A = this chain, B = another copy of it.
Amino acid sequence: MSISFLVLAFFLQYCFTSSLYHPLDPLNSTEINQIKLIIQKSKLGGLPDLTFHSVDLEEPDKRYVLKWLSASKQGKTNLPRQSKVVVRGGGETHELVVDLGTDSIKSHHIYTGHGYPPLTFNELFKASKLPLSYPKFKNEMIRRGLNLSEVSCIPFTVGWPIGGISMLVDVDKMKITVYIDTRRVPLPKAEGTDFRSPKGKPDSIICNLTNTRLTIEGHKVKWGNWVLHVSFDARAGIIISTASIFDAKFNKFRRILYRGHVSETFVPYMDPTSEWYFKTFMDVGEFGFGRAADTLQPMIDCPANAKYMDGYVAGADGQAQQFPNVICIFERYDGNVAWRHTEINVPGKVIRSGEPEINLVVRMVATVGNYDYVLDWEFKNSGTIKVGVHLTGILEMKATSYTINDQITENVYGTLVADNVVAVNHDHYVTYYLDLDVDGNGNSFIKSKLQTARVTNINVSPRKSYWMVIRETVKREAEARVRLGLKPTELLIVNPNKKTKLGNHVGYRLIPGQPVASLLSDDDYPQIRAAYTKYQVWVTAYNKSERWAGGLNRQIENRDIVMWYTVGFHHVPCQEDFPVMPTIHGGFELRPANFFESNPLLSQPQKCTKTC
């Protein structure tokens, strides 16, 4: 035992002294290809239909990561690099943990539960080509007067849909098993569907934000008073880890967010008929926001001063694929004030002061078929983390015989947005995993309820009422789910072991967005899968394995806890959403609440160097 430990220690030193990995760095292309080789050399390599569904970093335990971070530069050695891999072959799903240091498979589990791993783009692509050589379909296209070379079959709407035909593909056998042709509706016109900008590429809008306060070393980002780690994951897309803020009053960095990322999305459509009822996408689990990450367009998706990061994802064959420029990082000045005041009541003086607000934005775009999700993490010098979810792209549409609203007497489950085109009603729920570690691991979840108090003694006050704050520490998970918008309540994550000098518990407050919750009935199949969307907020005990769902009923007071927050949208389409949607905005904030001794903006110098 002690010998093998020595060997491992020697090996680590030998291999990695030249390059120090941050333990949460994503797998790079060399590592992904190394994993492919390890698996191909194993007995799994003999399976003829071996397909790689996911190759993710298996993160070291949180305590090791925290220890590594707090070690001095000289004291840092690389933690073991491991990967969690899901492959499919021989009709079975294999979950593996691969160790890169020892070139070995550390664990191998054959999954026997319900469900399948996310579809690969390879599978989606192959499935989409099958109908083009399927005789019934080919004949029907000819009967409808269409040119087969212009027909595209996909699980998403593109351009304009051909109504009435559904096919079921067995992806393992890569065969069409069901063909349904229910109805023939007019083909919507192509006219007015071109969404390309008539303006061409805009001239650059250059602001003299020179990112002088920004440094990016590998995946480590330093900006102003913030330090954070930005990673890229095939499933989640951007992962923000170990975000800490410098507190000038105490001359030290203080921990806030151990990890934050999109955990799941749920997009149920509200048309229950046979062609549409199953459209209840969970894009992150089914496709992956990282795999759907789009190369960002400079000057359109990100401003001129943006810096870019690439991502690496394993293809269906296990080979590393480079996704260029999938994350952009930039300073943003949106024209707002961080704070300002004019004081005219100090004898003999007028004091007028303030500061423009300049923030750091970390952005990606996931284009999941028709929809484009612009996903922002914004960091403010005030300590606020603002998460933005911006929706644009193309609506899911269906063909219809109608050309004018007055003809419609049945329920079409959507809005007529063009001749013969109905855009279908739907929801979007984007659920965030937020492992907040406010000044340490031991945190509690607080509901601060604003309750009306009656004044009964008129000798005390001529007023009859006021509101007061009733603070309630939530003990167990079952009481920690919250449906917003019903009663005025502030939600906080505090550290019960740390107080400000004035004796207030240090904390962060959730500033929610619109209180949108799923309207599907609890017994509906898609709702059972996405049961968490009935409440916008959940708080659970930290468990390394739980990143993509909730559960159980554990104690959460003064523990390492995780907040789950869902950004929701109900979308009744309108004509302005055709052929491409103007962006709609949602999100939430995590804002310091007695975390600092006073307004941190007054103690941190801000450089705005002019270069333009």
* Minimal beta-carbon separation of A248 from chain B (angstroms): 10
**A405: which of B206, B504, B516, B519 is its contact (CB, 8 Å)?**
B504
A448-B572 in contact (CB<8A): yes
B343-A394 in contact (CB<8A): yes
Known: A504-B415, A580-B341. A352 touches B294 (CB 8 A): yes
- A367 to B503 alpha-carbon distance, docked (Å): 32
Asked whether A419 is an interface residue with its Cβ less than 8 Å from the other chain, the reply is yes
Known: A208-B205, A602-B579. A525 touches B572 (CB 8 A): no
B570-A272 in contact (CB<8A): no
Q: Which residues of B contact A486 (CB under 8 A)?
A: 485-486
B572-A601 in contact (CB<8A): no
Choose, from A4-12, A30-38, A102-110, A449-457, the stretch at the interface.
A449-457
Measured CB to CB, the nearest residue on chain B to A501 is: B404
- A451 to B270 alpha-carbon distance, docked (Å): 11
Q: Which residues of B contact A416 (CB under 8 A)?
A: 502-504
**A467: which of B204, B484, B570 is its contact (CB, 8 Å)?**
B570
The 0/1 profile, CB within 8 Å of B marked 1, for residues 400-444 of chain A is 000111110001010111110000010000000000000000000
User: What is the copy number of this chain in the assembly?
Assistant: 2
Asked whether A18 is an interface residue with its Cβ less than 8 Å from the other chain, the reply is no
Asked whether A599 is an interface residue with its Cβ less than 8 Å from the other chain, the reply is yes
Known: A488-B570, A576-B592. A413 touches B466 (CB 8 A): yes
Asked whether A340 is an interface residue with its Cβ less than 8 Å from the other chain, the reply is yes
The 0/1 profile, CB within 8 Å of B marked 1, for residues 323-334 of chain A is 000000010111
A524-B346 in contact (CB<8A): no
Q: Which residues of B contact A150 (CB under 8 A)?
A: 347
Known: A335-B334, A374-B340, A461-B277. A594 touches B570 (CB 8 A): no
Asked whether A497 is an interface residue with its Cβ less than 8 Å from the other chain, the reply is no
- A91 to B417 alpha-carbon distance, docked (Å): 63
B594-A272 in contact (CB<8A): no
- A136 to B403 alpha-carbon distance, docked (Å): 82
**Residue with the highest number of chain B CB atoms closer than 10 Å, among A273, A345, A523:** A345
B521-A465 in contact (CB<8A): yes
**A354: which of B297, B333, B603, B610 is its contact (CB, 8 Å)?**
B297
B502-A572 in contact (CB<8A): no
- A394 to B346 alpha-carbon distance, docked (Å): 13
Asked whether A163 is an interface residue with its Cβ less than 8 Å from the other chain, the reply is no
Asked whether A166 is an interface residue with its Cβ less than 8 Å from the other chain, the reply is no
Asked whether A284 is an interface residue with its Cβ less than 8 Å from the other chain, the reply is no
- A128 to B489 alpha-carbon distance, docked (Å): 38
B392-A365 in contact (CB<8A): no
Asked whether A186 is an interface residue with its Cβ less than 8 Å from the other chain, the reply is no
Q: Which residues of B contact A451 (CB under 8 A)?
A: 519
Asked whether A59 is an interface residue with its Cβ less than 8 Å from the other chain, the reply is no
B583-A206 in contact (CB<8A): no
Measured CB to CB, the nearest residue on chain B to A328 is: B335
Known: A274-B461, A297-B352, A303-B335. A357 touches B583 (CB 8 A): yes
* Minimal beta-carbon separation of A170 from chain B (angstroms): 19
Q: Which residues of B contact A347 (CB under 8 A)?
A: 149-152
B462-A525 in contact (CB<8A): yes
B301-A463 in contact (CB<8A): no
A273-B460 in contact (CB<8A): yes
Measured CB to CB, the nearest residue on chain B to A205 is: B333
A342-B367 in contact (CB<8A): yes
A272-B336 in contact (CB<8A): no
Please report which residues of chain A, range 358-398, place their CB below 8 angstroms from some CB of chain B when the two chains form the complex: 358, 361, 365, 367, 369, 372, 374, 380, 382-384, 390, 392-394
Known: A152-B346, A599-B580. A353 touches B196 (CB 8 A): yes
Choose, from A154-162, A214-222, A254-262, the stretch at the interface.
A154-162
Asked whether A337 is an interface residue with its Cβ less than 8 Å from the other chain, the reply is yes
Asked whether A145 is an interface residue with its Cβ less than 8 Å from the other chain, the reply is no
Asked whether A577 is an interface residue with its Cβ less than 8 Å from the other chain, the reply is yes
* Minimal beta-carbon separation of A486 from chain B (angstroms): 7
* Minimal beta-carbon separation of A500 from chain B (angstroms): 6
Asked whether A543 is an interface residue with its Cβ less than 8 Å from the other chain, the reply is no
Asked whether A338 is an interface residue with its Cβ less than 8 Å from the other chain, the reply is yes
Q: Which residues of B contact A608 (CB under 8 A)?
A: 202-203, 205
Q: Which residues of B contact A380 (CB under 8 A)?
A: 582
Please report which residues of chain A, range 560-602, place their CB below 8 angstroms from some CB of chain B when the two chains form the complex: 570, 572, 574-583, 585, 592-602
B520-A452 in contact (CB<8A): yes
Q: Which residues of B contact A523 (CB under 8 A)?
A: 464
Known: A337-B392, A576-B598, A594-B575. A354 touches B197 (CB 8 A): yes
Measured CB to CB, the nearest residue on chain B to A355 is: B197
Asked whether A174 is an interface residue with its Cβ less than 8 Å from the other chain, the reply is no
- A601 to B195 alpha-carbon distance, docked (Å): 10
B341-A503 in contact (CB<8A): no
Known: A297-B354, A608-B203. A467 touches B596 (CB 8 A): no
- What are 16 pairs between A and B in contact, CB < 8 Å? A197-B354, A199-B605, A204-B610, A271-B466, A274-B461, A277-B463, A297-B352, A300-B356, A403-B502, A405-B503, A413-B466, A418-B502, A463-B525, A465-B520, A465-B524, A580-B599
Q: Which 6 A-B pairs give the minimum distances between C-beta atoms?
A: A405-B503, A485-B485, A272-B461, A334-B334, A465-B521, A464-B524
With A195-B339, A198-B602, A207-B333 given, name 10 new contacts (CB 8 A): A152-B345, A204-B610, A300-B337, A332-B334, A341-B367, A463-B525, A464-B521, A509-B574, A576-B599, A578-B598
